[in-house]
A and B are shown apart, each in its own frame.
Chain A
Amino acid sequence: MGLDIRYPIGFLFSLIGLMLTIFGLVTDSNAELYHRSLDINVNLWTGLVMIIFGGFMLILAYTSAKKKAGKKEE
Chain B
Amino acid sequence: MEQSFDLGWIDYSIMLIYFIFVLGIGWTLKKYMKSSTDFLEAGRSLPAWITGLAFIATNLGALEVIGMAASGAKYGIATVHFYWIGAIPAMIFLAIFMMPFYYNSKARSVPEYLKLRFDEKTRGFNAVTFAVMTIFASGISMYALALLMETLLGWDFNFSLLISAVIVLVYVYLGGLTSAIYNEVLQFFLIVIGFLPLVIIALIHIGGWEGLKSSLDVVAVNNGFEAGAYTESWRHMGNAESNPLGVGIMGVVVGLGFVLSFGYWCTNFLVVQRAMAADSITSARKTPLIGAIPKMFIPFLVILPGMIAIALTSDPDSGFALPVKGEAYDYDKTIPMMLGYYFPTGVLGLGLTALMASFMSGMAGNVTAFNTVFTYDIYQAYINKSKSDKHYLRVGQLTTIFGILVSILAAYVASLFNNLMDFLQLVFAFINAPLFATFLLGMFWKRGTGHGAFFGLLAGTGAAALHHGLTVPIGAMTLVKGGWLGTIIHTYPSEMAQNFWTAIYAFITCFVLTIIISTLTKQLKTDGQLKGLVYSLTPKEKGEGLKWHDKPVTLAIIVGVISIILSILFW
Contact = CB atoms under 8 A, between A and B. Distances in A.
Interface of A: 1-3, 5, 8-9, 11-13, 15-16, 19-20, 23-24, 27, 29-33, 36, 38, 40, 42-43, 45-46, 49-50, 53
Interface string B529-540: 000000000000
B186 interface: yes
Nearest to B193: A50
Contact of A8 (B24, B42, B347): B24
Interface residues of B, number: 36
26 contacts: A2-B31, A2-B32, A5-B50, A5-B182, A8-B24, A9-B189, A12-B18, A12-B21, A12-B186, A12-B190, A19-B14, A19-B346, A20-B346, A20-B347, A24-B346, A27-B346, A29-B346, A31-B344, A33-B342, A33-B344, A36-B205, A38-B201, A38-B205, A43-B346, A46-B193, A49-B193
B350 A9 contact: no
B46 interface: yes
A30 B42 CA distance: 44
A6 B178 CA distance: 14
B278 to A, nearest CB: 12
A45 B205 contact: no
Contacts of A29: 344-346
A38 B24 CA distance: 38
Contact of A20 (B50, B190, B350): B350
Contact of A19 (B10, B190, B201): B10
Given A2-B28, A8-B21, A53-B193, A40 B201 contact: yes
Contacts of B38: 1
Which of A1, A9, A24 has the largest count of B CB atoms less than 10 A from its CB? A1
B160 to A, nearest CB: 22
A11 to B, nearest CB: 8
Contacts, number: 90
Contact of A42 (B10, B43, B190, B344): B344
A49 B28 CA distance: 27
A57 B558 CA distance: 25
A3 B171 CA distance: 14
A32 B344 contact: yes
Interface in B20-63: 21, 24-25, 28-29, 31-32, 38, 42-43, 45-46, 50
Given A12-B17, A46-B347, 20 more contacts: A1-B29, A1-B38, A1-B42, A1-B43, A1-B45, A8-B24, A8-B182, A8-B186, A13-B193, A16-B14, A16-B17, A19-B14, A23-B10, A23-B346, A24-B346, A27-B346, A42-B346, A43-B346, A45-B197, A49-B193
Contacts of A12: 17-18, 21, 186, 190
B343 interface: yes
Contacts of A2: 28-29, 31-32
A59 to B, nearest CB: 15
Interface in B151-197: 178, 182, 185-186, 189-190, 193, 197
Q: Top 3 nearest A-B pairs by Cβ distance?
A: A43-B346, A29-B344, A2-B32
B223 interface: no
A52 to B, nearest CB: 11
Interface in B330-388: 342-347, 350
A34 to B, nearest CB: 10
B104 interface: no
A19 B21 CA distance: 16
Contacts of B29: 1-3
Nearest to B279: A1
Contact of B204 (A8, A38, A49): A38
Given A8-B25, A13-B193, A46 B186 contact: no
Contacts of B24: 8
A9 B178 contact: no
